[in-house]
Amino acid sequence: MKAESQNIEWKETWRDEYLKWICGFANAQGGKIYIGINDKGAVVGLPDAKKLLEDIPNKAKNHLGILVDVNLKTKAKKSCLEIIVEPYPNPISYAGEYHFRAGTTKQTLRGVALDKFLLKKQGQRWDGVPLHKAKLSELNSTTITHFKQKASQTGRMNADALKLKNELLIDNLRLKSDDNQLKRAAVLLFHKDPEKYITGAYIKIGYFYDDDDLAFQDEIHGNLFEQAEQTIQLLTTKYLKATISYQGLHRIEQFPIPEPALREALLNAIVHKDYSCGIPIQISVYQQKLIIWNQGQLPENWTIAHLSEKHPSKPYNPDIANCFFRAGLIESWGLGTLKILNECKKAKLSVPNFNFQDSDFTVTFKLKNTKQLQSPVAIKLSGTNADKVLQLIESNVKITINELAIKLKVSESTIERILKNLQLKNIIYRDGSKKEGAWIINASKE
C-alpha cells in the first residue's frame, strides 16, 4: 500500500466527519481515501464494509453534491474500502465550510485563504476583482499621462488607444469589471492614495547595522508607478553609494548591485506581491547585503529552480503586469529573474539568492565594494531633511525651531525629532540656553 501523501489518506474506521477529507480532495488535486487501514499502512479490516460501500457514495452526493467511486478491497481476508475522489473545477463545501488537501493535511479555508481559493476556482485573480467604492475621479491624472508617454515610447499600445480620454483608456486596459467598476489593479496602478482601499500597499526600506539594530528607514507610498520610481531613486541616492572611475574624460559610476538587476528585482516584487496580505514590500540594506522581501506565491508546481532557467511568464497579478509591460517596465516572457542573474554575472558579482518558504519570497544580493559604501550617518544625512537642517544651521547657528519648520515646510515636532537625532549621534550640540545659545556642528560630522 502506498504511503500517505498529497493524494492518499488512511483511516482505520469510517466516520461521517471524513466527508471533510473527501471535500478537501475534491477542492485540491483529487485523491484516494482508504478506510480500514491504520496509520502504519496495515489493513485491519472493516466489518461493515458492504454497508459502507453503498452509504458513502450517497453521503458524498447528499452532503457535498459530488460523485465518488467506492471500491471494496481485500488483503489476507481483511476488507478495506478505496474511495476515489476526482478534483472538481467548482468549489465544494461541507456544512458551509470549505476544506482543502495540502500535503498530507486537511485545511479548513477561512479569511484571505478562502478568498484566494474561491477566486481561483472562478478563474479570477485578486487584482481583477472590482472595488465598488473606488471612483474614476480619484485616479491620478498625472500618472495616467506619464503612463501614456511611456507606452507611446515602447510602442506596446495602439497609438489611437493612447489618445483616448482617461476613462476609455482605463477601459481599454481592461481595468474595469463587466459592471463598469474599477478593478483593484486600477487603484493600485493609478489611484492618488491606493492605501485608502488596500492596506499595506507601500514599500519600506531600512538600513540595519545588524538584524536587530535598525539605523533608519523610509516608507514609499503612492501608486505602484510612483513607488517603483521613488524606491529606485532612494536606493541609488541614499542607501547605496556608487564607486567612481574614469575612462578618459568619461566618469563612470558603478553601484554595488547592477542597477538593471536591482530594478528588475524590485519590479518583480511589485508585480508578484500578494496585496491581500496587508503587509508592505520590505527592503533591508546591510553593509554587505541587500534583501528584497515580499509576500506572494510561486506558480503551481513551480520550485525555485524554475527561476534560474527560461520559464513562461505567470504573473501573480496579471492586470498589473500588463500595464507595467505596456509602459516598458517589464517584459512578458518570464525573463525577469534571468535578467537579474545575467546582470550580476556580467558585473562579475555573486549571483543573488532566491528563496521561497511558505508565502515569503526573498531576493538577497551580496554587495560589491562594501568598503566604498557610505557610513550610516552619511547615508542618513544625504538628501534628507536632516541634511537641510544642517545646511541651515551652518548659515545661521542661532536659527530657531520655528524658523527651521517654516523654511522646510514641516511641523515643529518634526524639526525637534531631527535635532534630537543629530544630537544623539554627536553630529551637533547646543551651546548655551534655548533663547541665547547657538548650535555647534562637530568637525567630525562627516
Domain count, the chain: 4
Residues 162 and 215 grouped into a single domain: no
The verdict on residue 165 lying in a domain is: yes
Residues 169 and 27 grouped into a single domain: no
Q: What's the angle, vertex CA 240, arms to CA 238 and CA 241, rounded to 5?
A: 95
Contact 192, 228 (CB under 8 A): no
Residues 224 and 291 grouped into a single domain: yes
In the chain, the N- to C-terminal Cα span, in Å, equals: 71
Helix, strand, coil share (%) of the chain residues, nearest 5: 40, 25, 35
**Which pLDDT value is given to residue 24?**
96
Looking at 143, 164, 196, the residue that finishes a domain is 196
d(CA 405, CA 408): 5
The verdict on residue 379 lying in a domain is: no
Domain containing residue 389: CATH number: 1.10.10.10
The verdict on residue 348 lying in a domain is: yes
Phi-psi region of 159 (alpha: psi -120 to 50; beta: other; left: phi over 0): alpha
Question: Within its chain, how far is the Cα of 440 from the centroid?
Answer: 45
The verdict on residue 192 lying in a domain is: yes
Residues 332 and 223 grouped into a single domain: yes
The verdict on residue 320 lying in a domain is: no
Of 119, 14, 88, 26, residue with least CA distance to 56: 14
d(CA 374, CA 241): 6
Residues 113 and 73 grouped into a single domain: yes
Looking at 143, 173, 196, the residue that finishes a domain is 196
pLDDT values of the chain reduced to their tens digit, one per residue, 446 residues:
567 788 999 999 999 999 999 999 999 999 999 999 998 889 998 988 999 999 999 999 999 999 999 999 988 889 999 999 999 999 999 999 999 998 889 999 998 789 888 988 888 899 999 998 999 999 999 999 999 999 999 999 988 988 999 999 999 999 999 899 999 999 999 999 999 999 999 999 999 988 888 888 999 999 999 999 999 999 988 888 776 666 666 666 678 899 999 999 999 999 999 999 899 999 999 988 999 999 988 887 788 888 988 888 889 999 999 999 999 999 877 788 999 999 999 988 889 999 998 889 999 999 865 443 444 444 444 446 888 888 888 888 889 999 898 888 888 888 888 888 888 777 888 888 777 788 888 754 44
Domain containing residue 109: CATH number: 3.30.950.30
d(CA 278, CA 374): 33
Residues 332 and 219 grouped into a single domain: yes
d(CA 263, CA 274): 19
Domain containing residue 366: CATH number: 3.30.565.60
Let me know how many helices (H) and strands (E) the chain has, helices first. Answer: 14, 17
Domain hosting 153: range is: 128-196
d(CA 267, CA 127): 16
Buried b (16+ CB within 10 A) or exposed e, 192-212: bebeebbebbbbbbbbbeeee
Residues 337 and 265 grouped into a single domain: yes
Residues 232 and 338 grouped into a single domain: yes
Residues 179 and 263 grouped into a single domain: no
The verdict on residue 215 lying in a domain is: yes
The verdict on residue 322 lying in a domain is: no
> 441 - beta bridge partners?
428
Residues 252 and 353 grouped into a single domain: yes
Residues 423 and 302 grouped into a single domain: no
Q: Name the phi and psi angles at 33, rounded to 5.
A: -115, 125
The verdict on residue 317 lying in a domain is: no
Looking at 156, 178, 196, the residue that finishes a domain is 196
Residues 285 and 357 grouped into a single domain: yes
